[in-house]
Structure 1
Amino acid sequence: MYSFALKAYSDAGLCGSDCFSFKNEATKNNLRSSDSPVLSNDLDAQRVTNGTPASWDAQVLNCSEDASVRTKDWFKRLDPRFHQFVLHRHCRYFPMLINHPEKCADGEVHLLMVVKSVIEQHDRREAVRKTWGNEHTVDGKKIKTLFLLGSPTTGKDTNNLQKLIEYEDRIYGDILQWDFMDTFFNLTLKEVNFLKWFDIYCSGVQFIFKGDDDVFVNTHNLLELIGFKVEDHKEADLFVGDTISKAIPIRNRQSKYYIPKELYDKPYPPYVGGGGFLMSSQLARRLFVVSEDLELYPIDDVFLGMCMQKLHLAPELHPGFRTFGITRRRVSPMNNEPCFYKNLIVVHKLSANELLRMWSVVHNEALIWQNCNADKIHSGFSGL
């Protein structure tokens, strides 16, 4: 999930000649005055002492390919689709086009909803804002939302799309955007750039939900899960989702998850499906530290699994997270059953209209809890 934005990607036919065009001048001029960090002097000093910058410090992109890799025998055998990923995977942090350092400034955010999106999916973002991404306070616990974006891919109406996303952000103030192309391989860049951003700006946040913009999230159940973990004093290493264990790289060249043996030739560590997972802020900061010592990998959720393995931790499997849908069959009546959505935490994949409809149905007072108890998967949910 790392499909860079460099010109050289045209070698593999993955994008046009502007593949690695970056907007450095736009980066300098695009940040609004309100985007200056809102941090205390004491906290600034502490972060400098700890080696963490007090504000985003990737201001200019200067990333040429690692030419030494071209001489390696394994590189010569490598599928050309992965050449530019390997040559540029040392390019880790990018200038920000839109920043919101004030999002966590009051230090009282209980849960930060972080949503991976792309510029064109404005309808999905709108649906999330109207449903589970709605910023509000529950029993004194603040919930805030951010959408993670890259820049438009080559061949699209780049300038107009950028203006539209800037306008959207002026309305909602909930977008973080970096100057790398928003492509499949680059999802790993969203992971590492967000972890760095979080380490700088959101030290007071307690928990992070990270998910896609096409999932249904039952925020009540998510908060209940957090409550159980806190009561049991198990929040420090919290990393829970739809865990995949004993997986191996996919060798089918037709799959978008295809990985050649030259790139990785051993079983994957346990990892969670990237559609939606929950982690504590303590663990997020530790993931950031270990991520800096790991080579980037072109599948973002597997990369986080590698970070967890480096910490000698394993993600927790929870049946309430269905990041592959309620059933793996493409069409099933279960996927339209409100009681499942009422009792689960995360369900993948829904269109914007499906999300709005299911949210309305699940939160309808006529859908009484007792009506769902017979089907309740509480064996996996309340035991948490």
Structure 2
Amino acid sequence: MKTWAKMFLIVGALGLLVFLFPINRVSNHLQARGDASQKKPMAKNNSYVYSWPKCQQNMSAASISGFETVPQHIQDFLYYRHCRHFPMLLDLPDKCGGIDKSADIFLLLVIKSSPVNYERREVLRKTWAKERLHNGVWIRRIFISGTMDSGFEKKRLNKLLELEQREYNDILQWDFSDTLFNLTLKQVLFLEWMERNCPKARFLFNGDDDVFANTDNMVDYLQSLKDNDGSKHLFTGHVFQGTRPVRWTESKYYVPVQVQESNSYPPYCGGGGFLLSGHTALVIYNMSQSITIHPIDDVYMGMCLAKAGLSPVPHMGFRTLGLHIPSKKVDPHDPCYFKEFLLVHRFLPPDIYLMWHKIYDPDLKCGHNSHRS
């Protein structure tokens, strides 16, 4: 065989090897985890992401005593609660500037949002979730989402998020059903993404898209922690203690014994919003690897903390049950009631927009006797 022919065969063989075994540009620590054998690197937009075989229904769940008596959505949860890996539809691999540069992010806002909540996301981008420098440190924003509906409607909503991504570059989306009982899955998938792409972010705010959050106040509070730069434990918000699973079948938070036999929950922060350090976020992710998914996401975070021997700390600035104004003679949306809080749950988009501008009105005057309840 002539020399040029041999060279052609060698080059062709090398090209085939590169095609079959692409270079893995994702951090090596992913390969060290126990489920690495299931992961398949796939090229996407000149980078490499991981996909997994479609998760199969756990048919043995039907053998749980009383399985047939629980509602269909709980049966579905039991069938698929072992599933933790779903295709990523929208990614932000460079959001934090790389693993080392992620330390430049002082506060990462991680906001749970369903695809249909376009108006909420738009308002947050203009108000408390605006990416900016405050007191010399960076606030960054990420919305985390699944998918909704099916067929044309699912495609339409996915296209909406895709268009938002092109403009704002702030959405993580996975191909799982965005339902109440999948909020825990959403949290775990984000924490996995964080470990891979943003492990050195100092602090995180984790919350809903229908809250009023004073993120400037959050930065001020976090900067006041002189002995914690994000490398130590912090998990604070509105703490619930001594609570138990809701056994009332009509409640949307109904958790039957088929899901959890124990009649108690560990201490946890209300899922409307809480602050945690980057250190604690990664501890929770590590603990989650060996804790069965629970459908109530804030409870699950408490379970992970408890397993790590850690506890949440209450902060009076978080009002995840809303703000109680004792008198009907005053405006319940008076900005003087909200100016010093860190978070108040629930707000409609116009109210968020209006409140944000009200509390920063230079002409706002709040008397010393203003009562915040």
Give me the TM-score of the superposition, normalised by structure 1. 0.80
Separation in 2 of the partners of 1:168 and 1:227? 32
- TM-aligned CA deviation for residue 132 of structure 1: 0.8
**SS of the counterpart of 2:248?**
coil
From 201, 205, 211, the equivalent of 2:207 is: 211
Aligned to 1:26: none
Do the aligned partners of 1:153 and 1:182 also contact (CA within 8 Å) in 2? Answer: no
Aligned to 2:369: 374
1:222-269: CA deviation from partner (whole Å, max 9, x where unpaired)? 012111223467861100011111011112111111111232232111
Separation in 2 of the partners of 1:89 and 1:251? 19
Q: Which has the larger radius of gyration?
A: 2
Where does the alignment leave 5 or more consecutive residues of structure 1 unmatched?
1-35
Cα 1:61/1:357, change in 2 over 3 Å: farther
Do the aligned partners of 2:325 and 2:332 also contact (CA within 8 Å) in 1? Answer: no
**CA RMSD, 1 decimal:** 2.8
Aligned to 2:80: 88
Between 75-84 and 315-324, the greater mean CA deviation after superposition? 75-84
- TM-aligned CA deviation for residue 45 of structure 1: 4.7
1:317 correspondence with 2:331: no
Aligned to 1:168: 164
Aligned to 2:123: 127
**SS of the counterpart of 2:176?**
strand
Cα 1:58/1:47, change in 2 over 3 Å: closer
**SS of the counterpart of 2:264?**
coil
1:294-341: CA deviation from partner (whole Å, max 9, x where unpaired)? 111111111111111111111111110011111299x89564121121
Aligned to 1:351: 348
From 272, 285, 288, the equivalent of 1:288 is: 285
Do the aligned partners of 1:241 and 1:316 also contact (CA within 8 Å) in 2? Answer: yes
Higher relative contact order (CA 8 A, sep 6+): 1
Separation in 2 of the partners of 1:333 and 1:263? 45
Amino acid at match of 1:291: S
Identity of aligned residues (%): 36
**SS of the counterpart of 2:187?**
helix
Do the aligned partners of 2:52 and 2:85 also contact (CA within 8 Å) in 1? Answer: no
**SS of the counterpart of 1:243?**
strand
Separation in 1 of the partners of 2:70 and 2:296? 17
Separation in 1 of the partners of 2:209 and 2:107? 17
Aligned to 1:244: 240
From 156, 174, 188, the equivalent of 1:178 is: 174
Separation in 1 of the partners of 2:156 and 2:171? 17
Do the aligned partners of 1:242 and 1:319 also contact (CA within 8 Å) in 2? Answer: yes
- TM-aligned CA deviation for residue 37 of structure 1: 10
From 182, 185, 188, the equivalent of 2:184 is: 188
1:79-119: CA deviation from partner (whole Å, max 9, x where unpaired)? 44411111111101211000001111232111100111111
Separation in 1 of the partners of 2:79 and 2:329? 43
Where does the alignment leave 5 or more consecutive residues of structure 2 unmatched?
1-22, 42-46
**SS of the counterpart of 1:157?**
helix
Separation in 1 of the partners of 2:62 and 2:25? 44
Between the two proteins, the alignment pairs up a number of residues equal to 336
From 356, 359, 364, the equivalent of 2:361 is: 364
* Map 1:26-175 → 2, pairs under 5 A: 44-45=27-28, 58-105=50-97, 106-107=101-102, 108-154=104-150, 157-175=153-171
Amino acid at match of 1:374: N
Do the aligned partners of 1:327 and 1:334 also contact (CA within 8 Å) in 2? Answer: no
1:152-192: CA deviation from partner (whole Å, max 9, x where unpaired)? 22377122221121111101110000000111111111110
